[in-house]
């Protein structure tokens, strides 16, 4: 049974030109109308509770209507119920009809015309100031105050309640606490315990007597970065799976690391894990390969920001590029690991090289490894692969002019090497050939588009040295 009667619905229908509405239709409409009104009232009450009010006002009803894409009420405002008794709703009864209305306030036009005009509002203006200049915050009023880090206490911070005139003796309390060697671990509920040392106890007693208004010394605990249980389980599962070297599991793990958006809290833990395992696992090619793939997946994840951890992520990769102890069995394919690590380092350089000068330092390290006469063949191979991965402009700047000199030294070392050394020297020769091929193709493109800044004579000299070392038949595919 609806609270609204059928007569109400009929009167609404007659008002809009529908006088012949059936009785059962009026009943259904009345039930639906009551449901809508109750729903609207509940929504308006929610807005009132969120506004810390116990009374629902017209603004709450308007917000509820707007939330349901309905036209709000006109002619009623929240402020009209707050001004005085004359502005509250009025009630009139005419015959059997009842009506509620909002009385209109009578305004005196004379007083309204003679009233003082309000002040002109201030124009909106914009002011600019420097937040930082070359990484240094200027000491100006618009910026937050600078904190002198040299004066900050690295240990727990003492907080004293009821600070009084003698609160300066807090340092005596801290000194006594330090003497007893009781830090955050030696406190209960953040309150300093009574020390057993007689001198420390005397110092605390003297300080407490001099500062009767000082409350207990409360230690601020050192906050540690915490991971949720799900993140801890994810980290443990990934790390253990990579160490177990289950190929199917590793495949899905790398896909997850490369795409999942919620891995940023785990990034420092993964960086530290890779750094530790590469140091401990030199000679274990499977673990080293998984560590390189792990970092490659993390760096390819667009949802992560690894800039703060590059100092931990780059050394393991460079180790996988140039180390001569990647495997205990020379027959294993450690060359693929060096190529993978070199491609990952090149990704880091291309993303962050301009901002952190990473590429310049990597290039200097690699060219020194290439030109050092007594460097191991495998290390020279990794360095050449790395320089090639960095791009033809790097080859143009540091390698191409030294091809002839490096090739002569390589041939001399290859002539006196054993069978394994000759195989490794052949891989170095192939890496040098690929580097020259990359450079020549790029230089030909630059010359054809008139972008080359190198004189024609120097280009031809470089081509001649490459052709002389590798032979015309070998380089005929690209020269």
pLDDT in tens, 39-50: 999 999 999 999
- Of residues 439, 327, 462, the one with CA closest to residue 382: 327
pLDDT at 391 (0 to 100): 92
pLDDT digits (tens, 9 = 90+) for 101-139: 767 778 888 988 898 888 888 888 888 888 888 778 888
pLDDT at 295 (0 to 100): 94
Q: How many CA atoms lie within 13 A of 93 on its CB side?
A: 2
Q: What is the pTM of this model?
A: 0.54
Average per-residue pLDDT for the chain: 80
In sequence order, what are the beta bridge partners of 101? 90
- Of residues 188, 152, 158, the one with CA closest to residue 170: 158
Torsion of CA 30, 31, 37, 43, to 10 degrees: -170
Whether 299 shows a pLDDT value over 80: the answer reads yes
Q: Treating both helix axes as pointing N-terminal to C-terminal, what angle do 285-300 and 310-322 enclose, rounded to 10 degrees? A: 140
Rounded mean pLDDT, 267-280 = 93
Backbone angles phi, psi at 68, to 5 degrees: -100, 20
Question: What are the DSSP calls for 37-67, one per residue?
Answer: HHHHHHHHHHHHHHTT-SS--HHHHHHHHHH
SS3 464: helix
Instruction: Report whether 387 contacts 395 (CB < 8 A).
Output: yes
pLDDT at 454 (0 to 100): 63
pLDDT at 182 (0 to 100): 42
Q: What span, in angstroms and rounded, lies between the C-alpha atoms of 457 and 447?
A: 12
Rounded mean pLDDT, 62-71 = 90
Instruction: Select the highest-mean-pLDDT range: 71-75, 286-290, 327-331, 474-478.
Output: 286-290
pLDDT at 181 (0 to 100): 43
Min mean pLDDT across 155-169, 270-284, 310-324, 461-475 is at 155-169
pLDDT at 378 (0 to 100): 92
> What is the sign of the dihedral through the CA atoms of 402, 403, 405 and 406?
positive
**Residue 137 DSSP one-character state:** -
Whether 222 shows a pLDDT value over 70: the answer reads no
Burial label for 403, CB within 10 Å (0-12, 13-18, 19+), is buried
Q: What span, in angstroms and rounded, lies between the C-alpha atoms of 219 and 217?
A: 7
Residues sharing a CB contact under 8 Å with residue 374, sequence separation 6 or more, in sequence order: none
Rounded mean pLDDT, 317-339 = 91
Whether 179 shows a pLDDT value over 80: the answer reads no
| Alpha-helix residue ranges (DSSP H) falling in 181-227 | 198-210
Question: What are the DSSP calls for 62-126, one per residue?
Answer: HHHHHHTT-PPPSS--GGGGTS-GGGSPEEEEETTEEEEE-PPPP--HHHHHHSPPPPPPPPP--
Distances (CA, A) of 154 to 151, 158, 221, 408, 432: 9, 11, 12, 58, 52
pLDDT at 459 (0 to 100): 81
pLDDT digits (tens, 9 = 90+) for 352-399: 877 788 888 899 989 988 888 889 999 999 999 999 999 999 998 888
- Of residues 368, 469, 379, the one with CA closest to residue 428: 379
Give percent of the chain above pLDDT 70.
78
SS3 222: coil
Whether 174 shows a pLDDT value over 60: the answer reads no
pLDDT digits (tens, 9 = 90+) for 186-213: 433 333 444 444 555 565 556 555 555 5
Whether 453 shows a pLDDT value over 60: the answer reads yes
Min mean pLDDT across 96-105, 111-120, 265-274 is at 96-105
SS3 136: strand
pLDDT at 207 (0 to 100): 54
pLDDT at 389 (0 to 100): 94
Whether 12 shows a pLDDT value over 80: the answer reads yes
| Alpha-helix residue ranges (DSSP H) falling in 281-418 | 285-300, 310-322, 334-356, 358-371, 377-390, 392-398, 403-415
Instruction: Report whether 213 contacts 161 (CB < 8 A).
Output: no
SS3 358: helix
Whether 345 shows a pLDDT value over 70: the answer reads yes
Instruction: Report whether 362 contacts 390 (CB < 8 A).
Output: yes
Distances (CA, A) of 32 to 1, 60, 72, 156: 11, 22, 20, 64
pLDDT at 383 (0 to 100): 93
Instruction: Select the highest-mean-pLDDT range: 5-9, 224-228, 422-426, 443-447.
Output: 422-426
pLDDT at 262 (0 to 100): 86
pLDDT at 321 (0 to 100): 93
């Amino acid at each position: 049974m609806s609270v609204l009667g059928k007569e109400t619905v009929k009167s609404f229908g007659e008002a809009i030109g529908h006088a012949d509405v059936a009785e059962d239709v009026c009943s259904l409409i009345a039930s639906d109308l009551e449901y809508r009104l109750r729903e609207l009232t509940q929504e308006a009450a929610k807005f009132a509770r969120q506004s810390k009010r116990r009374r629902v006002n017209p603004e709450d009803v308007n917000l509820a209507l707007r939330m349901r894409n309905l036209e709000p009420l006109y002619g009623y405002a929240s402020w009209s119920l707050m001004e005085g008794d004359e502005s509250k709703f009025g009630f009139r009864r005419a015959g059997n009809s009842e009506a509620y209305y909002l009385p209109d306030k009578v305004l005196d036009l004379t007083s309204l015309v003679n009233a003082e005009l309000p002040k002109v509002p201030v124009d909106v203006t914009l002011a600019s100031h420097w937040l930082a200049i070359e990484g240094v915050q200027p000491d100006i009023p618009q910026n937050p105050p600078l904190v002198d880090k040299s004066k900050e206490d690295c240990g727990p911070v003492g907080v004293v309640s009821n600070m009084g005139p003698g609160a300066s003796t807090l340092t005596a309390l801290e000194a006594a606490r330090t003497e007893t060697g009781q830090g955050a671990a030696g406190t209960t509920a953040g309150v300093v315990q009574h020390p057993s040392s007689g001198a420390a106890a005397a110092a605390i007693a003297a300080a407490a007597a001099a500062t009767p208004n000082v409350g207990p010394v409360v230690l601020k605990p050192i906050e540690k970065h915490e991971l949720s249980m799900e993140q801890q389980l994810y980290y443990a599962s990934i790390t253990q799976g990579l160490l177990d070297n289950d190929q199917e599991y590793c495949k899905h793990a790398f896909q997850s690391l490369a795409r999942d958006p919620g891995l940023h809290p785990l990034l420092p833990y993964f960086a530290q894990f890779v750094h530790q395992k590469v140091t401990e696992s030199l000679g274990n090619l499977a673990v080293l390969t998984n560590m390189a793939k792990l970092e490659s997946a993390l760096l390819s994840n667009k949802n992560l920001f690894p800039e703060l951890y590059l100092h931990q992520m780059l050394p393991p990769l460079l180790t996988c590029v140039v180390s001569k102890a990647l495997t205990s069995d020379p027959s294993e394919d450690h060359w693929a690991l060096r190529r993978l690590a070199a491609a990952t380092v090149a990704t880091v350089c291309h993303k962050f090289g301009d901002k952190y000068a990473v590429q310049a330092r990597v290039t200097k390290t690699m060219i020194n490894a290439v030109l050092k006469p007594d460097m191991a063949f495998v290390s020279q191979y990794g360095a050449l692969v790395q320089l090639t991965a960095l791009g033809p402009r790097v080859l143009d700047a540091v390698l191409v002019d030294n091809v002839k000199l490096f090739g002569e030294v390589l041939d001399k070392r290859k002539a006196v090497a054993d069978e394994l050394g000759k195989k490794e020297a052949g891989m170095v020769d192939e890496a040098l050939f690929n580097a020259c091929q990359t450079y020549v193709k790029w230089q030909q493109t630059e010359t054809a588009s008139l972008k080359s800044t190198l004189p024609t004579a120097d280009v031809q000299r470089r081509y001649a040295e490459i052709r002389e070392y590798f032979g015309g038949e070998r380089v005929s595919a690209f020269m």
